Structure 1
């Protein structure tokens, strides 16, 4: 089974690049099968990690960044892959 973990944060004004750099520097052990970084308006950063694991597996997740780097708490979701077209 493939599980995707989604991590999304909104950076403090003008600190989107810094938040993206911070997210890219985080090390997950074990490493995911795949890791992708995305950005959006309002200095939002999204990190998707893919794991070959059961849905309820205990998997490492990105932590909360320093409070001064973000405008709100990080949002996290877990998804199960159902199809790839």
Structure 2
């Protein structure tokens, strides 16, 4: 069974690039090579939002919270189970 974990953060005003850099520098290295990790994707969106989706075979790792100074609000997290892929 494949599980997807979504991690979404809204950056403090003008700090989206720093938040995205934080994910690349601190989160992705921790995830790389983790047992069960299938894939990661990092997105940027309007409104200074940064989204990380990870796919897992088995129990996923939780992504850490960034430094509070980078955030406009608390991080949101969702877990999903894959039901169909084409």
Unaligned runs of 5+ in 1: none
RMSD: 1.3
**How high is the TM-score relative to the length of structure 2?**
0.87
Aligned to 2:2: 2
The count of aligned residue pairs is: 81
Post-superposition shift, 1:30? 1.5
TM-score (norm 1): 0.88
- The structure with the greater share of residues assigned to helix is 2
Which runs of 5 or more residues in structure 2 are unaligned? none
Q: Which moved more, 1:16-25 or 1:29-38?
A: 29-38
1:47-58 to structure 2, matched below 5 A, reads 47-53=52-58, 57=59
Please report how far the alpha carbon of residue 33 of structure 1 lies from its aligned counterpart in structure 2 after TM superposition: 1.0
